[in-house]
Structure 1
Amino acid sequence: MTFSGRATCPEYWYFRLFEFIFYFVIEIIDSISGSIFPWLVVYILMFLPGIAVGMRRLHDTGRSGWWVWLPSASFSVIVVYHASFLYKLNPSGGHLSPLVFLPIIPFLLCPIATLIFLCQPGTPGNNRFGPPPGNGRG
Structure 2
Amino acid sequence: MEYFIGALKKFADFTGRARRKEFWMYTLFYIIFYAVTAAIDVATGLYMLSTIFALVMFIPTISMSARRLHDTGRSGWWQLIGLIPLIGAIVLLIFYVQDSVEGNEYGDNPKALAEA
Q: TM-score, normalised by structure 1?
A: 0.69
In structure 1, the gaps of 5 or more residues are 76-107
Question: 1:114 maps to what in 2?
Answer: 92
Larger Rg: 1
Question: 2:75 maps to what in 1?
Answer: 64
Give the C-alpha shift of residue 52 in structure 1.
Answer: 0.6
Amino acid at match of 1:41: I
What's the RMSD between the two structures over aligned residues?
1.5
Once the two structures are superposed, residues 51-102 of structure 1 have per-residue CA deviations (whole angstroms, 9 ceiling, x without a partner) of 111100000000111111211x214xxxxxxxxxxxxxxxxxxxxxxxxxxx
Q: TM-score, normalised by structure 2?
A: 0.81
- Aligned partners of 1:115, 1:45: CA distance in 2, in Å? 23
- Aligned partners of 2:110, 2:18: CA distance in 1, in Å? 6
Larger RCO, structure (CA 8 Å, separation 6 or more): 1
In structure 2, the gaps of 5 or more residues are 1-10
1:3 aligned to which of 10, 14, 21: 14
Overall identity of the aligned pairs, in %: 39
- Any residues of structure 2 matched to 1:15-94 within 5 Å, and which? 15-71=26-82, 73-75=83-85
Equivalent pairs, count: 102
